[in-house]
Chain A
Amino acid sequence: MNEAIRFDGVTAGYRRGSPVIHNIDLTVPKSDFLAVIGPNGGGKTTLLKVILGLITPWEGSAVVLGGSPEKTRCEIGYVPQLIPEKSFPITVKDVVLMGRLKDSGLFSRFTLRDRNIAEMNLERLDVGDLADLDMNSLSGGQKQRVLIARALAGNPKLLLLDEPVASVDHDTQKSFFNLLAELNSTMTILLVTHDVGAVSAHVKNIACINRTIISHGETLSSESVEKAYGCPFELISHGGIPHRVLGKGSKT
């Protein structure tokens, strides 16, 4: 079993009759680092929800880490999109400990081991000194690292990231992708973004999605992705979709 994710003809959505993603075939090998790009409303979040087992495909089959998504999602580390204006009274340490909930029962406290794992992952992401701070006082890049530490605290085999660079500046993006490349040596990574300009040289494969998979694979090597920073629209084939829809900052 060398596949992290295998989608065969997956169609899914929220309202019967209007699927958001249609007939998706997608195979992600283990230890891949895949960027899924596509316009807003193109089905990226829906794709993630199927992988996480939050919605069930209407047609086709989704196999994640060798099993059904509902059963294997405990082995997935999920990093949701940052909502910058969200204010909540919680310390950084408590956010990361959420990643240990699945191994901790109701009416029990986190163990010393849980706390050590949380601390270790904060340090791994260079935010160990922020552990006792209020989450609201952190910058976008620091919050992003905390959410990754939370995902890693569950010791995942697959890391999913939703729009991970949407609220961080360019320099932070660079160190962020270096970090992901390092993590990629021990786990499969899949990230989704609408921002082609944010896809880094560290990404191994790119899939382009707009309701269905438009292009995917090794046709884009690491070198060509690097070049894609300069002229991304010529390098990536998007079928009949207007290329502007993938431009930086585009909103639907």
Chain B
Amino acid sequence: MIDALGYTFMQNALIVSVLGSIACGIIGTLVTVNRMSAFAGSIAHASFGGLGLAYLAGFDPLLGATGVAVASAAGIAVISSRKRERTDTAMATMWATGMAAGLVFIKLSGTYSADLMSWLFGSLLAVSASDITFAIILDIVILLVITGLYKEFLSVSFDQEFSMLQGVPTSLIRGLFLILTALTAVLLMKITGLIMVIAMLSIPAAIALMFTGSLWKMMLLASILAALFNLAGLSLAWMLDLPPGAVIILIAAFAYVVSLIIERIRSETA
């Protein structure tokens, strides 16, 4: 493992793992307490359509994924703003439509590339310098927005109606939340692939929720856990020659089960 650190691709993988954990812990916490994991899964899968389009039209796939992720987040917000009960259908439709469009575009483009598999299942060992730049900018934006508007994010997540009565711009806060979730989903695709983004946004935050009593502590613990899962998964995958994204998810799932057992024992002895 130590000798692997000499390789640039391994250094890049480590850097993106840690940078991704910051976004993952903070946004994953908001996704979890707002019960929006289906939304995160939906925009991650929808962005496959953007990837297909990028391959067909020949522009940067990262741009395609980002554009479609943000557009589908906005689409779900608009469809569900009028009628809350439509949210579920909107998310399911977006989820499947994006995948279907992606497949059609890729067939049309005539490329069946390994690149595509890397978007589906992660490509941690092939991250580029531009991926690192994207991660740094996203982390800075998330940290600025969440620290600047922490009390608003906390109150809108806890009680949206009361926040609105207090004059908090709830639509602005929700809009920021949806956009940041879409961007984080794109970043995490690089690590675990778009199919498993939903797990990275849910599992570290779900474990953190069991052991913390306030939102910022939950964000902090979820970020630390995500970093541990990423680094442990990356090391284990390197040693056993397995795909890192999948190993990361398996480690996270194992930690989740262990946490559930610990919580069970704690509540029985308490």
- Nearest-Cβ distance from residue B82 to partner chain A, whole angstroms: 11
B91: min CB distance to chain A, Å: 22
Closest beta carbon of chain A to B142's beta carbon, Å = 15
Q: Is the CB of B217 within 8 A of A89?
A: yes
Chain A, residue nearest B147 (CB): A107
Pairs across A and B, CB under 8 Å, 12 listed: A52-B165, A73-B165, A80-B161, A88-B33, A91-B213, A95-B158, A98-B155, A101-B163, A101-B166, A106-B169, A133-B213, A134-B213
Contacts of B86 in A (CB 8 A): none
Q: Which of B161, B166, B169 contacts A99 (CB 8 A)?
A: B166
Contact (Cβ within 8 A) B167 A74: yes
Give chain B residues whose Cβ lies under 8 Å from the Cβ of A98. 155, 158-159, 162-163, 166
Chain A min CB distance to B172 (Å): 9
In the bound complex, do residue B167 and residue A102 qualify as a contact, i.e. CB atoms below 8 Å apart? yes
Q: Is A25 an interface residue (CB 8 A)?
A: no
Cross-chain contact of B214 among A54, A78, A90, A104 (Cβ < 8 A): A90
A89 with B166, Cβ < 8 A, contacts A101-B151, A101-B155 known: no
How many residues in A have their beta carbons less than 8 Å from beta carbons of B?
28
Show the binding face of A for B, using Cβ within 8 Å: 52, 54, 73-74, 76, 78, 80, 88-91, 94-95, 97-99, 101-102, 104, 106-107, 109-110, 133-134, 136, 150, 154
Is B131 interfacial (CB 8 A cutoff)?
no
Contact of B214 with A102 in the complex, beta carbons under 8 Å = no
Kindly provide the distance from the CB of A88 to the nearest chain B CB, expressed in whole angstroms: 5
Inter-subunit contact B217/A101 (CB<8 Å): no
Cα–Cα, bound, A118→B159 (Å): 17
Contact B151–A80 (Cβ < 8 Å): no
CB distance from B70 to the nearest CB of A (A): 22
Contacting residue for B165 out of A78, A95, A97, A136, CB 8 A: A78
A151 to chain B: closest residue by CB: B162
Q: Report the count of interface residues on B (CB-CB < 8 A).
A: 26
CB B245 to nearest CB in A, in angstroms, measures: 28
Could you tell me which residues of chain B, from 208 to 250, have a CB within 8 Å of some CB in chain A? 209, 212-215, 217-218
Shortest beta-carbon distance from B35 to chain A in Å: 11
- C-alpha spacing A101/B156, complex, angstroms: 11
- List of B residues within 8 angstroms of A133 by Cβ: 213
B residues touching A (Cβ–Cβ < 8 Å)? 33, 148-149, 151-152, 154-155, 157-159, 161-169, 209, 212-215, 217-218
Q: What is the bound-complex CA distance between A133 and B167, given in angstroms? A: 27
Write out the residue numbers on chain A whose beta carbons fall within 8 Å of the beta carbon of B218. Answer: 89
Tell me, in angstroms, the Cα distance from A99 to B155 when the chains sit together.
10
Residue among B151, B166, B212 making CB contact with A109, cutoff 8 Å: B151
* Contact assessment for A107 and B163 in the assembled complex, using a CB-CB cutoff below 8 Å: no
Residue of A nearest to B205 (CB): A89
Residue pair B158, A102 in contact (C-beta under 8 Å):
no
* A133 to B149 Cα, complex, angstroms: 23
8 A-B pairs with the lowest CB-CB distances in the bound complex, closest first: A134-B213, A101-B166, A102-B166, A107-B148, A98-B155, A102-B167, A89-B218, A88-B158
CB A64 to nearest CB in B, in angstroms, measures: 12
B155 to chain A, nearest CB (A): 5
Alpha-carbon distance A74/B159, docked complex (angstroms)? 16
Q: How many Å lie between the Cα of A76 and that of B162 in the bound state?
A: 11
How many Å lie between the Cα of A52 and that of B164 in the bound state? Answer: 10
Q: Are A89 and B162 in contact (CB under 8 A)?
A: no
B158–chain A nearest beta-carbon distance, Å = 5
CB distance from A117 to the nearest CB of B (A): 14
Report how far A110 CA is from B169 CA in the complex, Å.
Answer: 17
Tell me the minimal C-beta distance from B149 to chain A in angstroms. Answer: 6
Which of A78, A110, A154 is most buried by chain B, counting CB atoms within 10 A of its CB?
A78
**Chain A nearest CB, measured from B144 CB (Å):** 10
Bound CA–CA A101/B152 (angstroms): 8
Pair A89/B212 contact, Cβ less than 8 Å? yes
Contacts beyond the supplied A99-B166, A101-B166, A101-B167: 4 A-B pairs with Cβ under 8 Å = A78-B162, A91-B213, A91-B214, A98-B166
Residue from A89, A99, A110 with most neighbouring chain B CB atoms (10 Å):
A89
What residue in chain B is nearest A74 (Cβ atoms)?
B167
